[in-house]
Structure 1
Amino acid sequence: MAKTGQKQQQSFGKFIKWFWILFGAGVLSVVLVFLLASWGAFGEMPTFERLENPETNLATEFISSDGETLGKLYLDDNRTDVPYNALPKNLIDALIASEDIRFHDHSGIDARGTLRAMIFLGSRGGASTITQQLSKLLFTKHASSNTFDRIIQKIKEWVIATRLERSYTKEEIISMYLNIYDFGNNADGIRSASRIYFGKEPAELKVEESAMLVGMLQNSSLYNPIRREELTWKKRNIVLGQMAKFEFISEAEKDSLQAQKINLNYNPESHREGLATYFRMYMQRWLNNWVKDNPKPDGEKWNIYLDGLKVYTTVDSRMQRNAEEAVQEHMKNLQAEFFHQNTPKRNPTAPFLDISKGAIDTILRNSMHRSERWRHLKREGLSEKEIEATFHKKTEMTVFDWNSDSYEKDTTMTPLDSIRYYKTFLRTAMMSMEPQTGHVKAWVGGIDYKHFQYDNVIQGARQAGSTFKPFVYAAAIDQLRYSPCYTLPDNIYCIEPGKHGNIDSWCPKNSDGTYSGEDMTLKNALANSVNSITAQLIDRVGPGSVVSIARNMGITKDIPEVPSIALGTLDINVFEMVGAYGTFANQGVYVKPVMVTRIEDKNGTVLYEYTPETKDVLSKDVAYAMVNLMEGVTQSGSGARLRHTGAKNQSVYKEVVTGYPYEFNNPIAGKTGTTQNQSDGWFMGMVPNLVTGVWVGGEERSIHFSSITYGQGAAMALPIWGLYMKKNYANEEIGVSKDAFEEPEEMSINLDCSKQAQEEQDDLDIEDDLDGLDF
């Protein structure tokens, strides 16, 4: 018996010995595996430097003057980091309750969760901690279907997770995880996700909204509220259940929130959608030029799509939104009237007017050759004959349509027909600027960037028409010291050949072809755009003087020194016209329009701050006299409908000109402009702290209204200004002025025409008395 017991004891001892040997070997094997993984034996591991500075792509962000994000520039990742203190508590609670309840108790690996996952083979939940999920997003690739590869992948995640825990605080790990996750639909990171899905900043997220976003962390493609709302709703409710289970919310609150449907406020962020699209695309070109001359400290070039630059712009998001709404509201109505007048029955060559079929074919052919389709097929090696054949084959496409809610419709037409179709739409441009600082407050380059990408604010230049006349009047007042009350006869006026350069005799007609034959004040002449008076003024000061003033006011285009420029034959863009008119409102000082106040890198280091570019052009009294002249335009001239109560011309404008009557009663200076055949309609409007220019016209000059009723600047462009200003004034926080323009203390130019008339009458009476005396 003793021997049997001794043998059993020896066997048990051997068992214990081998148990500890095997256990130790197992532990050592595990340690060795982790060491090998950390040394990179199973694939590259991140260095300490990479752990300290993980590489993530950050979008460049355009920030408005009122602190809103206008949009972003990015290639693949629409990401903007948010610090932990800007994340709402309910989002953190939802994340921890759903993904890692022991997050604050472990050091990267949850032993209990791992053991549970191993015993139940994952049927009762996975074991990945938030830190492990972050390590997978940052430093490891997606595992293959191979079991061994998946095990190695998990080991690498564990090693990286423990390293991350040593390098970062728990708060930093949470913010990094939420900032890097791809929530789908260009929503890279929590800030983009909250803005795109709910139209708000992360700090404003409600409990149920946070729960939905946290639910998407498991699989944003599967739990996508745009494509799978019901499935996403169920997943959100699971997260809410977890929050109640761990007492982050009450059972009553959970039941109430779970009963609610998902309330999305979907705001897609792309380069072709959102607020200020034309402005953002201009800023993209501006930044590309800026980075060429402003390298990083190490000499490398900034990447405007990946380096997370913050560009602080002058645009006010509220005014920009008002501008875009004003454009859409008026242009939709104006386009409906244009279509009404250009039916095949009324105009067989619609939308073109007064040109031959051959000229139309040339326009369409040239447009075809300039199209992206042509360039693309040319790069593929197709011959011109083969390319042209594709333009005559019907294809499915999505085109612009004012009458649909999304301004798009699906249709089938040939690419050539689509070119003609797009030419039927009137185009527009609008820019608004603070004259004292040059800060551009709103920028609308067209009716819809997705379908009309040509930016008419700065890329387009069209005949200025009568909006150029103030440069002529300014030269006359500045050089000849004329008063707005100065009179000239309204008769046909000719400038003889060779007087101002090598030109023929020039006898411009008034717009209606008639002449009153009476003396007319400069104020009245400008208000009614009387060409005969303008011709006399440029004859007296000379075209060179007008050109000099226009150049000093920011018009960069080469201007011919000929008398005809007085009537606006020169092509000018809206950008330069607004800058030039700002000189009048800013007491004669030209301030170059500015769009960017500063640029910062992702760490907040200032890389650029703007310096104003200014030039003294006119004296204060001349500038104020010009403002007084242009106030006459809105008091009794072509812009007077801004003050109408609706009685005058109401039958014409109530259906087409949205927002009419406007009934403004504050001081407004402005000038309308209409070019030959109504091809271009302009309105330049000013109040003391805001100058705004609007242009409307067709892509081709042969696309226009047939009559002046709708084709004049007062009908095409002025209503956009009126709508825009009504919206601005409705929000007093914007601060657009209703005050009078500031008059200089020493005003040497008489503005009181009744006083001047009395003085002229007194002079006549004195002459009559002297004639009656016998010397």
Structure 2
Amino acid sequence: MKKQTPHKPLPKSVKWLWGIVFAPFALLLLLLLLTAAGLFGRLPSFEELENPKSNLATEILSSDGKVLGTFFVQNRSYVQYDELFPLDSAQLLRLDGYDVPPIIAALISTEDVRYRGHSGIDLMSLVRVGVKTVLMQNTSQGGGSTITQQLAKNLFPRDINENRGKIARTTKLVVSKLKEWITALKLEYNYTKEEIAAMYLNIVEYGSNAYGIKSAAHTFFNKTPDQLNLQEAAVLVGVVNAPTRYSPVRNYDNAMARRNLVLARMAEAGAITHAERDSLSALPITLNYRPVSHNDGQATYFREMLRQVMNARPPKRRNFYTEWDYEQAVKEYENNPIYGWCHKNTKADGTPYNIYKDGLKIYTTINSTMQQYAEEAMLKQLRTVIQPKMDAQYRSTKVLFQNTSAEEREKIVRQAMRYSDRYRALKEEGRSEAEIDRIFRTPCPTRVFTYRGERDTILSPRDSILHHKRIMRAGFVAIEPQTGRVKAYVGGPNFRYFKYDMAKQGKRQIGSTIKPFVYTFAIDHLGL
């Protein structure tokens, strides 16, 4: 029997070499354990991960199911993963053995090609970052973050103060990265891959005040997410990296290059063929740009009236001229559930609703088609009949405010100046009345409203006020007699330029509306 040779102990140099190799991994594991234990600050709880907080826009819906507009801090509406799938199954792409919609294929191919194969942390990407980014200082390789880590960063943003020193910032960055890794692992434990991908698309910013894929698809292409074609999906996935730099509106060439890079990565991942990549890369970016604003869209005056009513506070006596007016306001507030709705009702945690952040859906009686006709009809009447008469009167008299003295006219203009944003800003800067008056009389580039469209011109702010004082305005309300439901509501010609609501705030003579009351009195009391 052959005698076995005993193993020789490893030389100390080899042991030291293995120790050096494994030390970073051991240190990283220790740091992760300490982070998970909360040594470097609290981590989001499982409850917070199951109910992540994000600013969701409130949608105002018409009686026929159209979105009239939104209230938002961030213009974001959520969609489920299933809502990303196109109606035509032929538009689905095959990636990693799954049939996925174009937007998901573009996202995974660009941001996390091994998305299906990891549990929140991609070790191969970490090795690449360690070698190329840290050792070789090649920052073009990216940070190696997975989609799940990026979601964690967006849901629970980093706290990195630029005013700190370099060492403090670096330490804070490392700690934040460790927290993101732990959070990513928790997200992977709580959610499916499909849910995480949908959450990522819902949470990120796309530029042009669009947050989330639903808002982005509408803003840039006037589509819903399931209607996006392949090249449009590539544009939106590309713009997330740097919303301003890759904006197809502001920086078209950058957006084209970024979109084609996304298409190239989709080809490398096997989602599309190289021939498809080449043909799609040759196409221009065709936008149907519809930026969302509180000043634009349908039923702007109605939306603002609704916002004020739902956010109303209990009436205060000092805001009313008479006791009767005050008592009527109190009755309205107490008996009408819509008045002060956001303060009268509370969420599950006991806090009142926030109309800008809580993603409410407000169903109204407004009919979108009737609203459109009402807005068009009023603008046509003002443009073709009313405003020409006002212009003719001004040309003949050279006086804007009839039957007034020069002092009264100046008082009207001064009051309008004091109500302007420009005046308030100058006051906050500490400018004197003389300086403000000089600035208001100095011509500058400005944009004014006309019934033939907005116009860029050179006017002093004072002359701009006088110009808009010459614009005739009107209100329009259509009510269904049988139910009292408001079907159309127009408070003025353009909410951007004229915030005053002629339908609700405007004071006017009673006119012929007094006749039914007079006739009823005559019939009932006088026997006529």
TM-score scaled by structure 1? 0.56
- 2:77 is the counterpart of 1:80: yes
Q: Counterpart in 2 of 1:314?
A: 365
Match of 1:403 in 2: 452
Aligned equivalent of 1:302, options 353, 357, 360:
353
Matched to 1:291, the amino acid is C
State the one-letter code of the partner of 2:495.
Answer: Y
| Pairing 1:139–2:134 present | no
- Cα distance change, pair 364–29 in 1 and its aligned pair in 2 (3 A): closer
Question: What SS does the corresponding residue of 2:116 show, helix, strand or coil?
Answer: coil
Contact 1:400 1:409 (8 Å CA) reproduced: no
Query: Quick check: 1:348 aligned with 2:394?
Result: no
The residue aligned with 2:184 is 161
1:447 aligned onto 2:522? no
**Which residue of the other structure, out of 86, 92, 100, is the alignment partner of 2:104?**
92
The residue type equivalent to 1:419 in the other structure is: I
CA distance in 2, matches of 1:383, 1:274: 38
Matched, 1:437 2:483: yes
Question: What is the CA-CA distance between 1:422 and the residue it aligns to?
Answer: 1.0
**2-structure distance, mates of 1:222, 1:195:** 20
Aligned to 1:519: none
After superposition, the Cα gap between the structure-2 partners of 1:243 and 1:369, relative to the gap in structure 1 and judged at 3 Å, is: closer
Aligned equivalent of 1:274: 297
Q: Which amino acid aligns with 1:107?
A: S
Q: Which residue of 1 aligns with 2:128?
A: 116
**Do the aligned residues in 2 keep the contact of 1:243 with 1:249 (CA within 8 Å)?**
yes
Deviation, 1:283, is 1.0
Q: How does 1:160-239 map to 2 (within 5 A)?
A: 160-239=183-262
The aligned amino acid for 1:315 is I
Residue identity opposite 1:269 in structure 2: V
Equivalence for 2:410: 361
Q: CA RMSD in A?
A: 3.0
The unaligned stretches of length 5 or more in structure 1 are 1-5, 481-538, 542-775
Preserved CA contact (<8 Å) 1:402 1:408: no
Contact 1:431 1:444 in 2 (8 A): yes
Counterpart CA distance in 2 for 1:27 and 1:230 is: 43
Q: Name the residue aligned to 1:128.
A: 145
Q: Is the 8 A contact 1:399 1:411 kept in 2?
A: no
> In terms of mean alpha carbon deviation, does 20-29 or 324-333 score higher?
20-29
AA at the equivalent of 2:382: M
Supply the AA of the counterpart residue of 1:440.
V
1:428 corresponds in structure 2 to 474
Take 1:376 and 1:14, find their aligned partners in 2: how far apart are those partners? 74
In 1, the alpha carbon distance for the partners of 2:363 and 2:434 equals: 49
Contact 2:344–2:352 (Cα < 8 Å) also in 1: no
Give the match's secondary structure for 1:104.
helix
Q: Deviations over 1:254-289 (max 9, x none)?
A: 333222211111111121122211111111101102
> What per-residue deviation string (whole Å, max 9, x for no partner) do you get for residues 619-657 of structure 1?
xxxxxxxxxxxxxxxxxxxxxxxxxxxxxxxxxxxxxxx
Q: Residue 412 of structure 1 is aligned with which of 456, 459, 475?
A: 459
Structure 2 residue 294 is matched with structure 1 residue 243: no
Matched, 1:31 2:29: yes
Contact 2:296 2:496 in 1 (8 A): yes
Could you say what secondary structure the match of 1:120 adopts? helix
- 1:110 corresponds to which letter in structure 2? D
Structure 1 residues 337 and 21, CA gap change in structure 2 (3 angstroms):
closer
* 164 and 205 in structure 1: CA distance in 2 versus 1, 3 angstrom threshold: same
Aligned mates of 1:242, 1:383 — CA distance in 2: 60
Identify the match of residue 57 of structure 1 among 52, 55, 58.
55
Question: What residue in structure 1 maps to residue 317 of structure 2?
Answer: none
The answer to whether the 8 Å contact 1:117/1:123 transfers is no
SS in 2 for 1:224: coil
Task: Give the 3-state SS of the residue equivalent to 1:436 in structure 2.
Answer: coil
SS in 1 for 2:447: strand
CA distance in structure 2 between the partners assigned to 1:417 and 1:201 by the alignment: 43
- Structure 2 residue 291 is matched with structure 1 residue 293: no
Q: Which amino acid aligns with 1:113?
A: S
Instruction: Give the secondary-structure state (helix, strand or coil) at the position aligned to 2:259.
Output: helix
Aligned residues, how many?
Answer: 470
Give the equivalent residue in structure 2 for 1:466. 512
Amino acid at match of 2:357: L
Counterpart-to-counterpart distance in 1, 2:517 and 2:102: 60
Match of 1:506 in 2: none
Partner of 1:641: none
Alpha-carbon deviation of 1:182?
A: 1.1
Cα displacement (A) at 1:357: 3.8
Read off the aligned partner of 1:119 and give its amino acid letter: V
Distance 1:234 1:372 in 2: 40
Tell me the distance in 2 between the aligned counterparts of 1:50 and 1:457: 44
Q: Which has the higher contact order (CA 8 A, sep 6+)?
A: 2
- 1:358 and 1:23, CA in 2 relative to 1: closer, same or farther beyond 3 A? closer
Structure-1 separation of matches of 2:108 and 2:145: 12
Inter-partner Cα distance in structure 2 for 1:375 and 1:157: 44
Q: CA deviation at 1:181?
A: 0.5
Partner amino acid, structure 1, of 2:451: W
Distance verdict in 2 for CA 1:224–1:333, change over 3 Å: same
Q: Which amino acid aligns with 2:27?
A: S
Which structure: greater helix fraction?
2
CA shift, 1:366, in A, is 4.1
Percent of pairs identical after alignment? 42
1:562-618 Cα shifts (integer Å, max 9, x gaps): xxxxxxxxxxxxxxxxxxxxxxxxxxxxxxxxxxxxxxxxxxxxxxxxxxxxxxxxx
SS at match of 1:428: coil
DSSP-derived class of the 1:70 partner: strand
Distance in 1 (CA, whole Å) between partners of 2:379 and 2:60 is 23
Q: Residue type of the partner of 1:109?
A: I
How does 1:628-707 map onto structure 2 within 5 Å? none
**TM-score normalised over the length of structure 2:** 0.80
Distance 1:17 1:408, change over 3 A: same
- In structure 2, the CA distance between the partners of 1:390 and 1:23, relative to structure 1 (3 Å rule), is closer
- 3-state DSSP class of the match of 2:210? coil
* Cα pair 2:208 2:291 within 8 Å, conserved: yes
Q: Deviations over 1:483-528 (max 9, x none)?
A: xxxxxxxxxxxxxxxxxxxxxxxxxxxxxxxxxxxxxxxxxxxxxx
Provide structure 2 residue ranges, at least 5 long, that are not aligned to the other structure: 86-100, 134-138, 312-339
Distance in 2, Cα, partners of 1:418 & 1:14: 85
